[in-house]
Every structure is written in C-alpha cells, then in structure tokens.
Structure 1
Amino acid sequence: MSRLLDFGYALITAGLWSLNPAFISKYKNALQPILFTGLRALLALLPTLLLCSLTGFRVEVTPLSILLFTASALIGPGIGDAAYTRAIQVLGGGRAVVVAYTYIFVAQALSVLLGEVLRLGVLVGAVLAFLGLVISAPNNSGNKEASLKNFSYAATASLCWGIGTVLSTMSLHYADPTSLLVIRLGVLVAVFIPAGLLSIHAKKNYSIQNNLRKMIECSGITGVIG
C-alpha cells in the first residue's frame, strides 16, 4: 500500500510539473528569468508556511545542514529553474523540456557515485520517462533557430536539477519535507528577487512596469503547482 501511495504521489507531481512549460511558454515574453524565479518562490512560500504551521517545523541545525539547505535551493530550483525559463524562451517548450529533463540521468549518476545501488527498475523507469518526453514533445515548438548557446540553458537546467535532487535527498536527513521546502523557498526569495531587480536595472532592456502583472500571474500559477 505504501509503495502504491508513493507511486501515486509521483504521478501527481509529474502531472503538475508537466503544466509548467505550457504556462511559461504562454507568458514567456513577459518574464525575466531571475526575478521570475524569486517571485515564484515568494508566492509558493505563503501556502507552504500555512502548511508548515499545521505540521510543525522540524529542522536539525548544523553547519553541514545549513550548507546543504542553501546549496540545494540555489542550485536546483534556483539556477536550474531560471535556466529552464530562459531555455523555454529561446528554444520553445518542447525542446527545452526534452533537454532539461535529462536531469533524471544526472541525478541517477550522481547517486551511484555517492554509493546508492543502481536498481534495474529505477534505470528502466528513467529511460521510459525520458522516452515519453521525447515522444510527447512537439516538433515545431520554438520559432528561433536553435543554437549551442540556446541549448546550453536547457543543459544547465539539467545539470543543476540533477545536483539539486541529490542535495535535496541529503538535506532530508536534517529536515522533514515541508520544513525543507520552507527553507529553500526562503533562500530563493532572499537571493533571486534582489538579483533579478539588479539584473533588470543593469541591462535596462526589460520594462518591469509593462510586464509585472503578467509575471506575477505566471509566478502564482507555476509557483503553487510546480
């Protein structure tokens, strides 16, 4: 029964994640990837804090746990998500998803290097999941000519998500899932909102006044479901 529930949770998670590329593609012209990542975290933090107030905040504070919490936040849902948003903007949702979701193999390879036993079922599942992405991705997504630089954004997302997945697993030795999520979201808000605003100010090629409403809409939708 427990394994069935775990499988059900995985299906729900996959279903919710699959909606993100569609929404990001719809709003892509209004998004600044760094600020968008911070806003998503901010809007996701509010309901997560409510949930944590009901379940309790359970964290073991050590120098190593603080390092793991911070690194898992900045690398995975931080740099990884920002790179993924940029990949969708320049490649289109289909290509970006296929390349970025190779993080499944990155995470598996890192886990094996850290001593986890590679089970045949897990390997077959990862291959099938990736093949499903390749088959389902639209061939005509993305209007721009793909280049190595554009694909590098999706590759960065893949690498960061893979590393972030392993770091998150290690972090769970020091916190329960809800408490860890609160910490990670807090780190993202504290780092990526100021960094995004500084980036906009420095480049001066993006009007926050004209795009803020749409970016908040997309942040709210994808932050809560993703």
Structure 2
Amino acid sequence: MSDPVFIIGSIVVVVWSITTHEVAHGWVADKLGDPTARLMGRLTLNPIPHIDPVFTILIPGILFFMGAPIFGGAKPVPVDMRNLRHPWRDWALVGLAGPLSNILIGFLCAGLFSVFVRMGREVDTIGCMVLGMGALSNFALAGFNLLPIPPLDGSRVAQYFLPPTARRTYLQLERYGLFLVMGIVLLFRGALGWYLQSVIEPLLRLAGGVFGVTAELFTSINMILSP
C-alpha cells in the first residue's frame, strides 16, 4: 500500500502507539512508588520527548532499506527500581504495562474500524485501512515486546520468576540487548514471523469478534499486506 495519505496516517498511529507504550510504563511505575518518569516530564503523549535517535529513526530506517522486518520503539522511560514498593513484582508489572497498552490501542482501532464499516465505508478506504494497520501494528508491538529478551518488556516479567543467581546473570545480558534484538530480527526472521503471527491473528480475531467485523478487518489487512 503506497498511498501517501495511508503512509502518513499509519506513521501517526505508530508514533502515538509507541509513545503511549512508554507513558504506560512510566505511569504504572509512578503508581507503584517511582516518580522518576513523572519528574523528568516523560508522562506526556507529546511524542517529541520520547523520540530516540537509534530506536525511533536509525534502526527502522536501516531495516527498511535492507528489506528486513521493521521494528523500533521510543526512548525508554527511566524507572528507578529502588523506589518500587515490591521491586521485582512491580518491575514485572511495569514491563507488562507497555504491551497491554498496545493491545488496548489495537482494540480501540478495531472498534473505530467497526464504526466506519457501520457508517457504510468500504474496507479499502484510507480511514479503514489506517485503522486496520493500527490494530495490526499494535498487536505486533505487543507480541514483539513480550519476547523474554533483554531489554524487551518480556524480560522484566521473566526476571520475576527466576531465582536470584540466575536473575543476576540474566540482567547482565541487557548490555548486549541491541545486538540480541537485531540478531533475532535478522537471523531468525522465519521463527519470529511465525511467533508474531501466532500472537497477532488470535488478537485480531478476538477484536474483530468483539465488534462484529472479523471478516471486514481481515479483508482490509490483507489489502494492506498485498503487494
């Protein structure tokens, strides 16, 4: 889908989604005892403070020109684990907040998509396709971030279930996080694609079923993904 309006609309939705993802981390951390993100002005939906030159611009750009699957993110919100009331449990909850926000946005996009359909809009109109892409990309962001690979959010959840000695070793992997994530994306594209599909498709079916637009939602997304 090369329509410039669709591309711009999709970029706006994705930027808003990754911004909300980070705000969710900071908001939950604040509620659990750590005000760091709030004090640094990061609990805002203004995307500018959340832009990371590497994860938001450089990596997606490189992957786009390489023809590889595109991923990226916003600048991680600062969280001081020492301020959390129950450090390891709360660290896991802070980690879950980001993917959960993306799942909620995916359902919001599906709900708005259903409104457009009930208003008589065709599924191949720009509005429907941007919302379909919004649902697809947010469910993909949630699935990707739940991978238990430091520094992705799934690693925070995994740490909670590890014994202390294994936890320390696991934490040391975070310094290599960028290389680990890029290695997964570039070297295990097939496995990553299978995993993401196993997350995205059930969520799309659930969201479509809730709003009664399963067939229309999949039709719109197939149009987006078709060459």
TM-score (norm 2): 0.29
* The structure with more helix, counted as a fraction of residues: 1
Higher relative contact order (CA 8 A, sep 6+): 1
